[in-house]
Amino acid sequence: MAVFPRSGRFVCFRCQARGDAIAFVQQLERLTFREAAARLESGVTSLPRRAASLRVMPSRRRATSLTQAEAAVLAAAVDLYANRLFGDKAALEYLERRGFGRDVLEWQRIGFANGDELVPYLRWRRLSVVAAHRVGLLRTGGREALAGRIVFPEIRQEQPIWLIGRVLGPAVKKKRYLALPGPKPLLGWDQASRNPAGVCLVEGPMDLLALTKWGVAGLALCGTGLSAANLQLLSQWQHLYAVLDADPAGQEATARLAEAFGSRLISVQLPPDAKDPADLAPLPEGDALFRDAVREAVSHHTGRGKMDV
């Protein structure tokens, strides 16, 4: 077992158990989250205040204007939700059916909001519940905004700046995606910006997770709308590969991107039975099918057959 004092997390390489101090006590003594938190609080006289040690980037480099308290509660929420995912059978099984294993989920810090744990967790960490309300993690009465959803964080320079949650399974009475308030960022920025030659544009976080699984540079628009600021950000790539959903909204968004970027925009058509990249993720040949579609699009666009994503 390895313990990381700076982050307060542990990993057991034999059984793959992992998490923070609360998760450790839960597994060791078979307690609920609340029981484990109470056990730790009663037995520890000095609790770590991680907020005080957060690295706050200079304002010119920060992707959003978060206070230190707000940044700390976002980071704590990502920790809590990431730990919770691996203890939630329904959420894990859903993601596994969609083609996503533990390795990519842990790498991207994907989580699950159980809905009744954030407030006691923040209090245990000595973090501001008020700040959690300000950033939109909590609603009136302490209800968690993303309760019952798979949580996708956007992490810039190791600091979460925004979260978006997806319902488990088909959306019936709830919106499929629900995000924290504030400007909608391009998801996947830190990884995509390492490849200035080209980037794939997709609609949703699940699509981006599929690209990440395949090692493809991508950005998720979180919908089909693009602000002027995000359009400006996209102009730094030499080529943009639009792999938006095969529906009228996705086609209209692709047309708008083509109008904005001209020949730099390459529209990619997936196989007929795939609406988006996430549909290919469960298939053993999903990676190959996706890359073949991009190669074909590039070949039609340039006649060279070169792919630089």
Question: So what's the pLDDT on residue 41?
Answer: 58
pTM, 2 dp:
0.78
Cβ neighbours around 107 below 10 Å, total = 11
Mean pLDDT score across all residues of the chain: 85
Question: So what's the pLDDT on residue 25?
Answer: 72
CA atoms within 13 A on the CB side of 17: 13
Q: What is the dihedral of CA 229, 234, 240, 246, to 10 degrees?
A: -30
Long-range contact pairs involving 20-28 (C-beta distance under 8 Å, separation at least 24): 20/79, 20/83, 22/83, 22/121, 22/124, 23/83, 23/87, 26/87
Instruction: For 151-180, write each residue's pLDDT tens digit.
Output: 999 999 999 999 999 998 777 778 999 999
Of 25-29, 82-86, 182-186, 261-265, minimum mean pLDDT range: 25-29
Q: Which domains, from first to last, does the chain contain?
A: 63-179 (3.90.980.10), 189-302 (3.40.1360.10)
pLDDT band at 48 (very low <50, low <70, confident <90, very high): very low
Question: So what's the pLDDT on residue 23?
Answer: 74
Instruction: For 94-135, write each residue's pLDDT tens digit.
Output: 999 999 999 999 999 999 999 999 999 999 999 999 999 999
pLDDT of residue 21 exceeding 80: no
Average pLDDT on 135-161 reads 95
Question: What are the residues whose beta carbons fall under 8 Å from the beta carbon of 57, sequence distance 6 or more?
Answer: 157, 159
Higher-scoring residue by pLDDT: 50, 67 = 67
Of 35-39, 85-89, 197-201, 265-269, minimum mean pLDDT range: 35-39
Instruction: For 235-248, write each residue's pLDDT tens digit.
Output: 999 999 999 988 88
